[in-house]
Amino acid sequence: MIASALIALIAALHVYILVLEMFLWQAPRTRAVFGTSAEFAAQSKALAANQGLYNGFLAAGLIWSLWLGVEGRDVAVFFLICVLAAGVYGGATASRRILLVQALPAALALGAVCAGV
């Protein structure tokens, strides 16, 4: 099912973001991904870890929806809307790239879930 594959990919993306924000925030490669300096990364480490935890909750909800199977449709819709809202807000306030990385995949997955494909 296309919807399940998209949900799994979005969940994996959010697990990856969790790892970057919670555990690798000050690493040079992570700083390059987020466009931050070493000084900023050091100063914002706790804030980034908090954001990472929230991304983990989004991933957990999406994984839960997959585990529930057909009965998890409403759970998937809820968490995809959360991801979409976070992506739109991030795109408007932090970086337009977030629209492509987070909001667009969530919108596509939400459409697939609602279409039943």
What is the value of pTM for the model shown?
A: 0.93
pLDDT band at 48 (very low <50, low <70, confident <90, very high): very high
Whole-number percent of the chain with pLDDT over 90: 98
Instruction: Give the integer Cα–Cα distance in Å for 102 and 85.
Output: 9
Instruction: Give the integer Cα–Cα distance in Å for 58 and 18.
Output: 10
Token readout for 8 is: 């799994």
Token readout for 74 is: 């409403």
Domain boundaries, the chain: 2-115
